[in-house]
Amino acid sequence: MPEKDLSTRIAENVTHNRASKAARNTAAFLALRGEINKALNDGWAILQIWETLYQEGKIRFGYAAFCRRVKRSMLSGKATVAGLENKTADAKAARTVKPSITGFTFESTPRKEDLL
């Protein structure tokens, strides 16, 4: 029988022992990270992935926590996630764009063409 990878062994160890809820959730997510990344690259929405994994009982945490884990895990590394990466890049670009305001200069002496 082939030896299981470290992530799978850790997930099994954490689920069988009295680990904290956060540790169990992290282990479950890490064990499924490859499948989640593949599904995202195949074009599935994060909500659909979460619903499927939650209904199958593979994860036991909410959608908001799942989104945070996906964003933190998938976007911080080399993995690219369709949709999320574009939104992040657009948000960064919007923050860096500065308006091109030339400003206002006050002339204390009036011009005749402005007075008429």
The answer to whether residue 31 sits within a structural domain is: yes
Instruction: Kindly report the pTM of this predicted structure.
Output: 0.52
d(CA 30, CA 51): 17
Domain range for 52: 6-96
Contact between residue 50 and residue 63 where contact means Cβ atoms under 8 Å apart: yes
> Ranked by mean pLDDT, which of 7-11, 28-32, 63-67 comes out on top?
63-67
The answer to whether residue 68 sits within a structural domain is: yes
pLDDT tens readout for residues 33-43: 889 989 988 99
Angle subtended by helix axes 46-56 and 21-41, to nearest 10: 130
Token pair of 100, please? 């091109």
The answer to whether residue 101 sits within a structural domain is: no
Q: Work out how many domains the chain is built from and give that number.
A: 1
Return the residue matching tokens 């619903």.
Answer: 51
